[in-house]
Structure 1
Amino acid sequence: MKVSYHGHSVVKVETGKHTLLIDPFITGNEACDLDPNTVEADAILLTHAHNDHVGDTLEIAKRTGALVVAPNELAVYLGTKGIETHPMHIGGSREFDFGKVKFTQAFHGSSYTDDDGSIIYGGMPGGILFTANGKTIYHVGDTALFTDLKMYGEMNDIEVAFIPIGDNFTMGPEDALIAADWINAKVSVPVHYNTFPVIEQDADAWASKVKTGEGRALKVGESIEL
């Protein structure tokens, strides 16, 4: 399995048989190296409904036929837009042909702003534990620091954790270091930083301070083989 980082919180997972995108915020994300008109996906996993995470989901799913797996309210809303969705909720897990998805808690908000400015409630935000080929990755989603992250680390053998460090909207670098220690992944990768001025952070400096496992600030497009 190969996982790659594509700016903000965008992660691509290639299992060898399937390609998945997590939170594909591409258009409007100057750091992203993906093209929403050509990127392939068999499935799209969404942590929550904010526009900088839903991103290009509708366009990609309509073009590729990708299944969109998301928290229930968000999945129901996106399903009205002519794409195939599968609703889930926190604590729930499901085996798909592309791997196992489990939603975890995250402490954040979750609403989608439509083109006309309407705010659509997106249900509860979450993190995603994804397992394929015997390997588990953890996309923590947008969240504050909370102690159950330690429980998730104890319950799962996590290869790579994608942890927000941007501060302001999510946990900042100091709290994210505690999260990395609790999650106990073999590799901790910072996400959700430098997209906007208010979340500018030094990802390399953060990665160098990770004490449990390895901290690695992936460049856009860089991948980790599992």
Structure 2
Amino acid sequence: MKLTYFGHSAFRVVTEQIAIVFDPWLLSNPHGSVPLAEAPCDYILCSHAHDDHIADAVALARLHGATIVAPFELADYFATHGVATLDLMPGGGVTLPWGRIDMTPAIHSSSLELPNAPARAMGVPSGYRVQTAGRTLYHAGDTALFGDMRLIARTPLDLALLPIGDFYTMGPDDAVAALDLLRPRLAVPMHYNSNEKIRVDPHAFATAAASAGHTVRVMTPGETTAL
């Protein structure tokens, strides 16, 4: 299994059976533009409707014939653009030939950011627990720290992708507390340094996490690592 970090909250996971892209903000990602052709995928998992998590979902799905997985209302919106969708809600999940996707809660908001118009509410925010190729991954989406993260880890986690940027999500201190609940084999920070409001030092977070007994890998945008 290989994990590629595109910056912000966008990742690609590839196994022998499947390729998944999480929260595709690719073309205008401030960490570096990623051509859509360089992110082939079978499934696109969108945690919520904010543009920094869905900006390229429809175009990516059309290019690669991928299915977009999203909370019900957001999936319904994507379906109006003529792409294949799979709608879930937190607490629900689906078993597929290559593994399982469970949608987890997240504490945040979810709205479409429309030009020259008020934001449009678009269902609930979420995270994802994905089991495939003998690994269990957790992409937290945009979220605050919450105690029921310990339930997400009732299936032991090989990888947790956690926001650390503060201001709109958990900051570094709360992310370390989240690791105390999740206990993943490896954690990778996300959702930081994309603008001045969420500027933090991911290496300081990794050091604090190590002091609490956790393993964190800070990935450079564009980097791929084997899991």
Q: Which category describes the TM-score, using the shorter chain as reference length? A: over 0.9
Partner of 1:214: 215
Measure the CA separation in 2 of the matches of 1:118 and 1:64: 32
Whether contact under 8 Å (1:142, 1:170) holds in the other structure is yes
- In the other structure, the counterpart of 1:182 is 181
Compute the RMSD of aligned alpha carbons. 1.4
Kept after mapping to 2: 8 A contact 1:33/1:221: no
Aligned 1:9-158 pairs, distance under 5 A: 9-32=9-32, 34-115=34-115, 117=117, 119-153=119-153, 155-158=154-157
Tell me if the contact between 1:105 and 1:126 (Cα under 8 Å) persists in the aligned partners: yes
**Runs of 4 or more above 3 Å deviation:** 114-118
* Number of matched pairs: 225
Contact 1:51 1:112 in 2 (8 A): yes
Q: What amino acid is aligned across from residue 136 of structure 2 in structure 1?
A: T
More divergent stretch after superposition (14-23 vs 205-214): 205-214
Query: Does structure 2 retain, via aligned residues, the 8 Å contact 1:73–1:121?
Result: no
CA contact (8 A) 2:98 2:133 kept: no
Q: TM-score of the superposition, structure 2-length normalised?
A: 0.94
Separation in structure 1 between the aligned mates of residue 136 and residue 32 of structure 2, nearest angstrom: 24
CA deviations over 1:67-117 (Å, ceiling 9, x no partner): 001000000011001111010000001012343110111000001123453
Unaligned residue ranges in structure 2 (runs of 5+) = none
Q: Which residue in 2 is equivalent to 1:160? A: 159
User: Does the 8 A contact of 1:90 with 1:105 survive in 2?
Assistant: yes
The Cα of 1:134 is off from its aligned counterpart by: 1.5
Q: Give, in whole Å, the separation in 1 of the partners of 2:28 and 2:128.
A: 24
Cα deviation, residue 54, structure 1:
0.6
Give 3-state SS (helix, strand or coil) of 1:207's partner: helix
The amino acid across from 1:54 in the alignment is I
The CA distance in 2 between the partners of 1:27 and 1:165, in whole Å, is 23
1:34 Cα offset (Å): 2.3
Query: Any conservation in 2 of the 1:184–1:212 contact (CA below 8 Å)?
Result: no
1:118 is displaced (CA, Å) by 5.2
Cα shift at 1:198: 0.3
* Unpaired stretches in structure 1, ≥5 consecutive residues: none
